[in-house]
Structure 1
């Protein structure tokens, strides 16, 4: 087996699989609470929180759908259907192939539902099997789980490999310009993590960007193609600035959701693994989620020649001077790393004080939804 294959683990135990999905549903709820804290601090405005919340909801729906798909993992159903494959070393999230397969299933979900018995009829048959035949209706349970899976796919609002750019009008500026915020997201197949992008730009075109039938599809295709975690924000922003003369990117942000660490499920190396091992937290509190935000801001504008008689604006972006002094090339104005974790793992983290965590912001969450920050 290759190293990559060894890092991808199938959750073939029924209860282990179900706990995994419950864990992620809990984590997504805590993410929303943390977003509320950032809004209260003024680091996110209401619209930005709404955008991030929508992507968190999409992730929640995605995990719910996969939870139904693999609800009977490890049980004898009379049909082999596999188990969820997760990246146990690098991300703690499902591998990208799971999202790709789900997208393919979604295209055929309606047809599958047309040929399946209703939920109510399946439940009636299950009761008859239990009472009349005194057997566990495993096969019927499997059929029901698959029906619920396809129903979730038909509902939509899921997090796909590529979530196309959408626009939000922010206002009109002097000189006839318009200001927009674009947002899009991807499930990065290189690291098996969701990544969310937000860009604020000025539009000096004659037609507003979302209504421009020529530019808007080109912008969507361009940004989707550049949504790679390995690309620096500076590379993405400069490429966009140079390809669209009448669109002027002023601020670009990228949010990396994950990795997720769990002593029960992941094998990442490093201090967090030791922290979770020593914490011995109860079920549902044995985890930590890393959250990284990168930001690139336009510092000033210069004029460049475009042909013989015209000029175009070009953005000069501000880069983190401290990163350059330390020999790092972030390609961003700033980068902030945060970690979201329950109380007991946080206590162990504070006691051990591992190197590299002093500058990491900690959000400590409770089962009641309360968030403390350190």
Structure 2
């Protein structure tokens, strides 16, 4: 086993353990996100996509050496890996036609061993590529950009407008970080109000069956424009406030009431990443490599504190606009461009013990809500 192979094995074992632990946390009824059950469920879906991507990347190393991570910053794979995965997914069927079926490859491998008395490495690579392509074409991975879905539909009794909970995701190519977005948006278009809202009760019409989740924004007249908007407004460099204001400005009849962004990472793992020298040094002392990691994430939120009514005149008109809240008493909230934010950290019990023994817990986790993964369970509020 080469040093590169050993490092790759350690990295994939660590990130697999971290993502599995994060998924446990999201689905735990004691999770702070669980009070918004649908939010935790949405994030868990994207974590599952990430897990699939990492499984595919691990299999891809069976026939190619092309895999790089952002060692000094995010600890996640660099953007090029996502592009290659997406390209492989699109070409999978064509490439599979040129690779023998698994049964044929096994027979060739057995015949090669008998005739040459050595291991058939070329055939092994063909087998690895075939299994990889079969996986990557059939599974949902975390791509460079994942189009929006409408996950919930209801009616605001105060305004009489239908509102949607819509989510999408992107992998930022500069910061090399996975981002999950959710927005609650009211729709004042006459067609959607007439179709969805019962004028007598002010609730959703009972006879309407909406097969959630729905791909794209529920409003079909705005769905393509909304997809274009989200693709152009999902960069990590854009503050959530900027995205919310842009959405409010660009759509006459859409009124964003809350926008939430979940930033996954950075990820720290011993001997692989060097994005924090203190953390790396202490994690190196953890006995089991699969426990020598630390995963952080941030939940950012912007919400509307009120609505400025639009006005129409003979010579000019103004659309209804949202008054988004920024907590100016919190310098970090102002810097991030958010109403509120939460920093979280997930760490295996063994790694937490090492950090605690080194006297670094207060320093490293200052401003973070810490969650410890132990025996398949997550312990919070430590």
**TMscore range, shorter length:** 0.7 to 0.9
1:256 aligns with 2:263: yes
Aligned to 2:287: 281
Shift of 1:327: 9.4
1:13 aligns with 2:4: yes
1:198 aligns with 2:182: yes
Alpha-carbon distance between aligned partners in 1 of 2:248 and 2:312, rounded to the nearest angstrom = 14
- TM (norm. structure 2) is 0.85
**Which is further off, 135-144 or 352-361?**
352-361
Any unmatched runs of 5+ in structure 1?
1-10, 73-80
Aligned to 1:185: 169
Aligned to 1:70: 61
Shift of 1:47: 1.9
Q: 1:168 aligns with which of 143, 151, 158?
A: 151
Secondary structure of the 2:330 match is: helix
Change (3 A) 1:177 1:207: same
Shift of 1:239: 0.8
Q: 1:92 aligns with which of 66, 75, 85?
A: 75
Aligned to 1:236: 243
Deviations 1:134-161 (A, max 9, x none): 3122111111111112112210311110
Alpha-carbon distance between aligned partners in 1 of 2:333 and 2:260, rounded to the nearest angstrom = 22
1:82 aligns with 2:82: no
Alpha-carbon distance between aligned partners in 1 of 2:234 and 2:333, rounded to the nearest angstrom = 25
Q: What's the Cα RMSD here?
A: 2.3
Aligned length: 353
Q: 2:328 aligns with which of 312, 321, 339?
A: 321
Alpha-carbon distance between aligned partners in 2 of 1:127 and 1:298, rounded to the nearest angstrom = 66
- TM (norm. structure 1) is 0.87
Aligned to 1:114: 97
Aligned to 1:37: 28
Secondary structure of the 1:223 match is: helix
Shift of 1:339: 0.8
Change (3 A) 1:108 1:327: closer
Aligned to 2:42: 51
Alpha-carbon distance between aligned partners in 1 of 2:178 and 2:189, rounded to the nearest angstrom = 32
Deviations 1:247-274 (A, max 9, x none): 1111111111111101221111353223
Q: 1:371 aligns with which of 368, 378, 381?
A: 378
Change (3 A) 1:275 1:38: farther
Change (3 A) 1:39 1:353: closer
Alpha-carbon distance between aligned partners in 1 of 2:55 and 2:131, rounded to the nearest angstrom = 10
Aligned to 2:370: 362
Shift of 1:176: 4.0
Change (3 A) 1:290 1:304: same
Any unmatched runs of 5+ in structure 2?
193-215
Contact 1:39 1:46 in 2 (8 A): no
Shift of 1:334: 1.0
Contact 1:264 1:286 in 2 (8 A): no
Shift of 1:121: 2.0
